Amino acid sequence: MLRWPGAYLERRGFTTTPPEKLSTSPPSAARSVAPPAAVTTTRPAPAVAEVRAWARGQNMAVPSRGKLRQDI
């Protein structure tokens, strides 16, 4: 059994960097930073009753029960 995770990684071919060799400076300003993702809001799907009411208002033939046609 290995006593520390680094030994496991080294046996698998990974190398580790000692803490004294890690960079303490912030990333350079030359790096491009991606802009924050745009916030998208999604509306919930309209209720079937709302769709039926809209279709009837458009003079479409809509059954009072069951599935709606795809074209509605």
Exposure of 51 by Cβ count < 10 A (0-12 exposed, 13-18 middle, 19+ buried)?
middle
Task: Output the pLDDT for position 57.
Answer: 93
pLDDT at 23 over 80: no
What percent of the chain is modeled with pLDDT above 90? 21
Q: What span, in angstroms and rounded, lies between the C-alpha atoms of 70 and 62?
A: 12
Exposure of 62 by Cβ count < 10 A (0-12 exposed, 13-18 middle, 19+ buried)?
middle
Task: Output the pLDDT for position 26.
Answer: 66
What's the rounded mean pLDDT across residues 54-64? Answer: 91
- Mean pLDDT of the chain, nearest integer: 78
pTM across the whole model: 0.41
